[in-house]
Amino acid sequence: MNSSVSWFNSAKKVLKWIVAVSFSVSSSAAISNDLPKTEGKGVTLTIAVDIALTTDPWLAGNKYSQDAIEALSIAAGALPDPKVSVGIANLPTDTFDVQQEAMTQSKIEVSQLFPRGDSRAIKRKQLELFGSQYPHQRQDRKAKVVMTVSQLWLDAYKAQESIVLIENDRALFEQLADVAQATYSSALGRTRQQDIVRADLELTQLDDRLTVLKQQQDISQERLSEWLSDYFLGQYSKETSFDSGVSDSRIKLTGKLPDFKLFNPRLYDTSEKISQQRLADYLAEHPAVKELDQKIQATNSGIDLAKQKYKPEWSVKAGYGYRDDDPFGRDRADLFSVGITFDLPIFTANRQDKELRAAVSQAESVKTEKWLLLRNMMASFESVRAQLIRLNERKKLYETELLPQMYTQAEASLTAYTNDDGDFAEAVRARIAVLNAEIEALSINVDRQKVIAQLNYLFVNQQNSVEMMLNESSAVPKGKKK
């Protein structure tokens, strides 16, 4: 009996020590952005983004498309190729003798077409304007890649670190189950059979949560691996020696959660709605909007191109005719001819007028694309900004009140149980509440970074470059020391 009491008291002391250490580690980890760190080196967010940008086939294809448009713009400014005609004219059909008739001649003609008005220069300018969209498209694509990869990385990170939190707590629940079993077997304390069942049930439920989280982790990692694969890189890029090093193995992420620096932080100083004009001025510098600006200019050039169709198209032709000697051997003079051809665009109602109207309508249609994009971006900003404000409030609440109170409550419940003054079920519920709160705090921190990534995408411009999207709020500018 004395040995059982001694063992029981020792088990309680060990349990209290484990709980104290567990609460100490959890409170410092859950309140910070380093919730908790995994061992070993992993794929950082910066590495993942760099690999995704290097191996993105869309960027390579877009550059090829720009090269094609630029080549076409040069070709559009050139004159059409001259035409050469060679033949025999006025050959007598009774004898087919080239000397019989004075009109018979061997002819060669050269003609050159001159397109209407300034259509060549306008067409070249239009294609150059279309080509100038592509750099903006690539900037927008890079910003989207950074945002998308960041969110996928953060999803995988959240699943990975949630698993770590549960696995860390599982040891405590196992110790609780052992103590409950010991106290029940020794008939000491207030442990009941249902407490044993409850402890085993909680362990089973933790295993189920781990399985669900590992499923989420696998899905997130597979979605992330799409952006990190370099399998087809040699087919569309000259970077044949590049090796991401992660495409053929299971991805392990670093344990550090980034803390992105917000672009234009003054827009988040108040929860009141931002002036529409002020917001539109910010968003007007976005690469996607700049791309549409170039497209609008290009379609406006289409209006000028349609107006050139009211002007005539000219063609100059020159020919030389060789005549053979007559049947008596006398020399015949060769013939030279020159002339011009042009059309008369005088019946314009059903052709030129309609083509001009179509060009004007097309230009107006593209303008509506810009307003639609800006309206969508402004609505996205307000929606995501509202999320950020509430997440900041929740983050503060968890850090300053909820987590400390839960740690205190859980420690008090467990202390009461180990001193035979508390209920086992209450101690377990308190510890589960702490675990849930820690996972929720992790989710809040991760969701906050995902929201900031979305907001920073909306404000990418020449001042806030794509490379700055991953800057952290604690980062020190180059050339300065802390």
Task: Give the pLDDT band (50/70/90) at residue 393.
Answer: very high
Length of the chain in residues, anyone? 482
Percent over 90 (pLDDT), the chain: 44
pLDDT in tens, 100-147: 787 888 899 999 999 998 999 999 999 999 999 999 999 999 999 999
On the question of pLDDT at 185 being above 80, the answer is no
Query: What's the whole-number mean pLDDT along residues 228-235?
Result: 71
Q: What is the mean pLDDT of residues 322-339?
A: 84
Contact of 101 with 92, CB cutoff 8 Å: yes
Range of the domain at 435: 2-78+121-310+349-470
> 260 phi and psi, to 5 degrees?
-65, 145
> Does 83 fall in a domain?
no
Residues 6 or more apart whose Cβ sits within 8 Å of residue 165: 35, 36, 435, 438, 439, 442
Is residue 251 within 8 Å of 221, Cβ to Cβ? yes
Residue 2 CB burial class (10 angstroms; 0-12, 13-18, ≥19): exposed
Least confident piece of the model among 23-27, 414-418, 422-426? 23-27
Residue 243 has pLDDT above 70, yes or no: no
- Mean of the pLDDT values across residues 198-216? 84
With respect to residue 338, please indicate whether it lies within any of the assigned structural domains. Answer: no
* pLDDT of 338 strictly over 90: yes
CATH classification at residue 250: 1.20.1600.10
Q: How confident is the model over 34-46, as pLDDT tens digits?
A: 433 434 457 888 8
pLDDT of 131 reads 94
Q: Are 62 and 139 in contact (CB under 8 A)?
A: no
Q: Is the pLDDT of residue 15 over 70?
A: no
- The average pLDDT across 316-325 equals 90
The answer to whether residue 60 is domain-embedded is: yes
Total count of domains within the chain: 1
Taking 3-state DSSP, the helix, strand and coil percentages for the chain, each rounded to the nearest 5, stand at 65, 10, 30
160 has a pLDDT exceeding 50: yes
3-state class (DSSP) for residue 68: helix
- Concatenating the DSSP letter of every residue in 78-116 gives SPPPPEEEEEEES--TTT--TTT-TT-EEEEEEEEEE-S
- pLDDT at position 146: 94
pLDDT of residue 119: 92
Q: What is the pTM of this model?
A: 0.80
Q: Are 264 and 281 in contact (CB under 8 A)?
A: no
Structural domain includes residue 89: no
Give pLDDT, residue 10. Answer: 47
Check residue 190 and give its pLDDT.
56
Please check the confidence at residue 195 and state whether its pLDDT lies above 70.
no
* pLDDT over threshold 60, residue 481: no
pLDDT tens-digit map of 27-70: 444 444 443 343 445 788 888 899 899 888 999 999 999 999 99
Cβ contacts of residue 137 below 8 Å, gap of 6+? 62, 287, 291
365 or 474: whose pLDDT is higher? 365
Secondary structure in 3-state letters for 184-240: HHHCCCCCCHHHHHHHHHHHHHHHHHHHHHHHHHHHHHHHHHHHHCCCCHHHHCCCC
pLDDT in the model for residue 432: 84
What is the band of 334 on the pLDDT scale with cuts at 50, 70, 90?
confident
Q: Is residue 97 part of a domain?
A: no
At residue 129, the pLDDT reads 93
Averaged pLDDT of the chain: 81
Which of 53-67, 245-259, 343-357 has the lowest average pLDDT? 245-259
Query: Cα(187)–Cα(5) distance, rounded to whole angstroms?
Result: 10
Joined together, the tokens standing for residue 469 give 């999207």
| 102 located within any domain | no
Confidence of residue 206 (pLDDT cuts 50, 70, 90): confident
Angle formed by the axes of helices 424-458 and 133-186, nearest 10°: 180
User: Does residue 221 form part of some domain?
Assistant: yes
User: Does residue 459 form part of some domain?
Assistant: yes
- pLDDT at 363 (0 to 100): 93
Q: Which long-range contacts (CB under 8 A, 24 or more apart) does 150-153 make?
A: 150/45, 150/49, 150/449, 150/450, 150/453, 150/469, 150/470, 151/450, 151/453, 151/454, 152/220, 152/223, 152/224, 152/227, 153/43, 153/45, 153/48, 153/224, 153/253
